[in-house]
């Protein structure tokens, strides 16, 4: 049997709304190899953020089996989470935002300085350390959020619609940038998006979710992932159209395409 880095079996999550149970996820099964990039795409409210919160160790009220590197999810461990709104502390400078996690892990001053300088340089933020988040563009803010995650050397990077508040060009720039980071680190990444082109560009494995309660409706192995020069080319657009058919509930059309 194959040994996956991330393995989810029969995952079910219920919430309570006005005293009634609401099932957000039901019978979710999928897995990712170490170093693989997975992308989840699905309709609003199908449970994508719920899934991410379980993987990030922020929601332990679930049934089923979830293993990351053979262990159940834990917050603050080897998993990093990046959200759509960047999650930066507005009263702290870029530098202080980036070193926060290292401080919490009680690293010594020398280690903190070296790690933060290296990551800020890598992300093209070397000259922005003294600025506050409000003094940055959206793209720069998201870079800081990525720097803050990478400085902790995670094994799994979770991203919940990380680029959705950015304009189209900045978004493309950061998609390419994420691919560069992945080439360098070979991190396991699980990213959520509503954007079909983004899913095709980034996801080696694309997981299409059904409406609430969310399940993985279709897994697509995507050989076009990572090929940013193919954006707008025929085969890229065909793959986008295939996904679009699934998402619009025309699974039959997609399967016979």
Which residues contact ligand ATP by CB under 6 A?
A: 15, 17, 22, 24, 44-50, 212
CB atoms under 10 Å from CB of 194, counted, come to 14
Neighbours of 155 (CB within 10 A): 17
| Residue 29 is a binding residue for Mg ion (CB under 5 A) | no
Q: Which stretch binds Mg ion (CB under 5 A): 48-56, 61-69, 89-97, 235-243?
A: 48-56
CB of 21 to ligand ATP, least distance (A): 10
- What's the min distance (Å) between Cβ of 65 and ligand ATP? 19
Q: Looking at 7-15, 33-41, 44-52, 168-176, which segment touches Mg ion (CB under 5 A)?
A: 44-52
H-run or E-run covering 39:
strand 37-41
Structure tokens at 175: 């998609």
Three-state secondary-structure class, residue 86: coil
Query: Which residue intervals of 105-191 are DSSP H helices?
Result: 109-122, 138-150, 168-185
Secondary element (H or E) of residue 191: strand 188-193
CB 11 within 8 A of CB 29: yes
Chain residue whose CB lies nearest Mg ion: 49
Q: Report the partner that residue 45 touches, choosing among ligand ATP, Mg ion, none (CB closer than 5 to 8 A by kind).
A: ligand ATP
Choose between 51 and 94: whose C-beta lies nearer to Mg ion: 51
Least distance between ligand ATP and beta carbon 155 (Å): 23
Query: What is the distance between the alpha carbons of residues 47 and 62, in angstroms, rounded to a whole number?
Result: 13
15 binds, among Mg ion, ligand ATP, none (CB under 5 to 8 A by kind): ligand ATP
Report the candidate in 241, 237, 202, 196 with the shortest Cα–Cα distance to residue 222: 202
Q: What is the C-alpha separation between 28 and 39, in angstroms, rounded?
A: 15
CA-CA distance, 164 to 185, in Å (whole number)? 24
User: 188 forms bridges with which residues in the sheet?
Assistant: 156
For residue 132, the partner it binds in ligand ATP, Mg ion, none, with Cβ less than 5 to 8 A by kind, is none
Distance of closest approach, residue 88 Cβ to ligand ATP, in angstroms: 20
State the minimum distance, in angstroms, from the CB of residue 245 to ligand ATP: 19
Shortest distance, CB of residue 184 to ligand ATP, whole angstroms? Answer: 29
Residue pair 158/81 in contact (Cβ under 8 Å)? The answer is yes
Segment contacting Mg ion (CB under 5 A): 43-51, 56-64, 117-125, 176-184?
Answer: 43-51
| Interface with Mg ion (CB under 5 A), residue from 49, 93, 164, 165 | 49
Instruction: Output the smallest distance, CB 169 to ligand ATP, in A.
Output: 23
| Binding partner at 257 among ligand ATP, Mg ion, none, C-beta below 5 to 8 Å by kind | none
| Binding footprint of Mg ion on the chain (CB under 5 A) | 48-49
């Amino acid at each position: 049997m194959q040994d996956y880095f991330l393995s989810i079996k029969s995952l079910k999550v219920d919430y309570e709304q006005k005293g009634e149970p609401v099932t957000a996820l039901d019978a979710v099964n999928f897995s990712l190899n170490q170093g693989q990039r997975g992308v989840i795409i699905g309709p609003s409210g199908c449970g994508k953020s719920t899934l991410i919160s379980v993987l990030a160790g922020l929601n332990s009220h679930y049934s089923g089996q979830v293993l990351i590197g053979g262990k159940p999810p834990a917050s603050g461990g080897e998993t990093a989470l990046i959200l759509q709104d960047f999650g930066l502390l507005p009263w702290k400078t870029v530098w202080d935002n980036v070193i926060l996690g290292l401080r919490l892990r009680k690293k010594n001053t020398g280690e903190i300085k070296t790690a933060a300088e290296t990551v800020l340089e890598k992300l093209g933020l070397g000259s922005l350390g003294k600025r506050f988040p409000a003094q940055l563009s959206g793209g720069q803010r998201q870079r800081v959020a990525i720097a803050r995650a990478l400085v902790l050397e995670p094994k799994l990077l979770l991203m919940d619609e990380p680029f959705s508040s950015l304009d189209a060009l900045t978004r493309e720039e950061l998609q390419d940038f994420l691919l560069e980071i992945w080439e360098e680190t070979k991190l396991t990444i699980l990213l959520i998006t509503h954007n079909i082109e983004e899913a095709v560009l980034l996801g080696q494995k694309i997981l299409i979710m059904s409406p609430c309660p969310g399940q993985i409706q279709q897994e697509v192995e995507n050989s076009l992932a990572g090929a940013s020069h193919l954006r707008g080319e025929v085969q890229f657009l065909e793959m986008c159209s295939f996904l679009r058919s699934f998402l619009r509930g025309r699974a039959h059309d997609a399967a016979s395409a």
